[in-house]
Chain A
Amino acid sequence: MKHSVVALTVNGAERQVLVAPGTTLLDALRESQGLTGTRRGCDQGACGACTVLVDGKTMMSCLLPVETIDGATIDTIEGLTPMEGLHPIQEAFLEGFATQCGFCTSGMIMATAGLLARNPDPSREDAVRAISGNICRCTGYEAIIDAVLDAAARMRAAKRDKAA
């Protein structure tokens, strides 16, 4: 089977990836781009650990054959993290003790980033729905839901400060 070249904008940088047929976006990110912050949990779309943003939308990268998204813009946990310090979502997770073993955390944070991009002022129900495709086996979710809402508040406040 013939390999193909797929063009992606990964965390703002234009990349060309040579892939075998059927290669998933998760494999392309982890194996060929070295972006291992995106986790491989179940590899069948059931756990959400591999969540990234594809053209701004929350997607599970283990389910996406990368050949089908030629030209797409991908954002991963590495791109979310600023050069210095942490993103407000990361701060909220850290300070809210919303992580224990950490395996689900990058997926949870990217699911939160996707939610807050389309809805800066989510209700608790919105937050619950946004992370419902993401499995956590340590925290009992409560701290994560609180962190999503805290991150939203931090980002709204930052936006207000910027406007003022």
Chain B
Amino acid sequence: MAWLNGRGVAAVNYPTGMNLGGDPSQALIHATTTGGFVITLSSVDLGQGIKTVGAQIAAETLGVPYENVVIDTADTDTGPHCMGTFASRGTHRIGNAIMMAAREAREVMMSVAATELEVDAGDLVTDGKGKIHVNGAPDKGISVVDVALAAHFKHGKTISGRGMFMKPKSEVVPETGEMDPDSCQAHACTVAEVEVDDETGEVRVKKLINAYEIGRAMNPALAHQQIVGGAWMGISHALYETTEPYYPDRGHGPTDFSQYLMPGPGDLAEMESVIIERPAANGPYGAKGIGEMTANSPIPAIANAIFDACGVRVQSLPITPEKILRGLDSLREQSNPTH
């Protein structure tokens, strides 16, 4: 009776966005009197960080400090349309819409600044710190605050912009089945190291090593957080979670947190993650989606590591101790038939 060590590998290609009747997201942006930029969205931040990443994209495009941007995701009844934050589409779709809106607003901002400074708008640059000045002459400039004030009270202008990103619906080519359902694909690979107790069937995930190619990591700390949280869910799918443990018998299903098994803080694997950046041509600043894919490759990697450790190939999730013990029994039966 022993703990058996095994290592498994699995990779995933994951689409960004989806292909129903077209996949749009919209963003509206306007400056307040004091040079704050409010971006109105119907997109929802459920903790994945779209507000942070959206504000980064807007600040970069406008050329103003991140702190000057306010993301307002208040109301899906009144906001510009968004299909939603799902299908790993948020950063790509909403990010692109924000970028378009910010470009349009920037044009107005620069033209007001040009009028105020009595120069050509094409000669102006932003310093990213709240100032607009003539290229090569930092002293000949005006603050974004003063530009916003002038737009509102002297020129009667709104510094605003509209952003609309849509991936049109892609029809299937009847002859070949070809279609273009997504905008780009992100890629990942996980190596899992496990040990399996051949007496109890218990599995311990010792280590997960992940590599992710996600175009550009708009916010590496948030991307890393997504990888760690997703890998934890992957472990959970692989070894713990099920709503119907005796399917097709619907009995004994978990009904609350105490019965629905997921790994706790004491069941974590050591984790090592690498992000590789190969910018996508159609992504905002090259970003692809990293949302859902993070729970994918850990699952087959763990299943492969279990096979490597003890020779049992489990074909259904979760891989419970019972399934491993039954697998070990049938391996023994095959190698040493009793009749």
Contacts and interface: CB of A to CB of B under 8 A. Distances in A.
A129 B268 CA distance: 13
Interface stretch (B123-131, B143-151, B221-229, B274-282): B221-229
Contacts of B232: 139-142
Nearest to A103: B47
Interface string B251-266: 0000011100010111
Determine the main DSSP class of A at the interface with B. Answer: loop
Interface stretch (A7-15, A66-74, A75-83, A94-102): A94-102
Contact of A128 (B48, B262, B266): B266
Of B48, B225, B232, B265, most buried by chain A (CB within 10 Å of CB) is: B265
Nearest to A144: B265
A41 B257 CA distance: 10
Contacts of B268: 140-142, 145
Nearest to B219: A97
Contacts of B262: 135, 137
Contact of B256 (A44, A97, A129): A44
Of B49, B231, B256, B271, most buried by chain A (CB within 10 Å of CB) is: B256
Contacts of A138: 47, 229
Nearest to B266: A128
Interface in B37-52: 46-49
Nearest to A137: B262
Contact of A46 (B222, B233, B258): B258
A86 B238 CA distance: 39
A5 to B, nearest CB: 33
A101 B46 contact: yes
A99 B225 CA distance: 9
A98 to B, nearest CB: 9
Nearest to B267: A141
Contact of A140 (B48, B221, B222, B229): B229
Contact of A102 (B47, B221, B222): B47
Give the interface size bracket for B toward A.
20 to 34
Contact of A100 (B47, B264, B265): B47
B257 A135 contact: yes
Given A132-B265, A144-B265, A100 B48 contact: yes
B257 A142 contact: no
A42 interface: yes
A129 B228 CA distance: 20
Interface in A112-164: 128-129, 131-132, 135, 137-145
B256 A128 contact: no
Contact of A97 (B225, B231, B257, B266): B225
Given A46-B256, A140-B232, A142-B228, A97 B221 contact: yes
A135 B262 CA distance: 10
Interface string B190-230: 00000000000000000000000000000001101100111
A47 interface: yes
A101 B265 contact: no
B257 A100 contact: no
Interface in B156-184: none
B46 to A, nearest CB: 6
Contacts of A102: 47
Contacts of B49: 100
A101 B265 CA distance: 18
Nearest to B294: A140
Interface in B102-148: none
Contact of A42 (B228, B256, B271): B256
6 contacts: A42-B257, A46-B256, A46-B257, A46-B258, A128-B266, A132-B264
Interface of A: 41-42, 44, 46-47, 97, 99-102, 128-129, 131-132, 135, 137-145
The 6 A-B pairs with the shortest beta carbon distances in the complex, nearest first, are: A140-B232, A101-B47, A100-B47, A46-B257, A141-B265, A140-B229
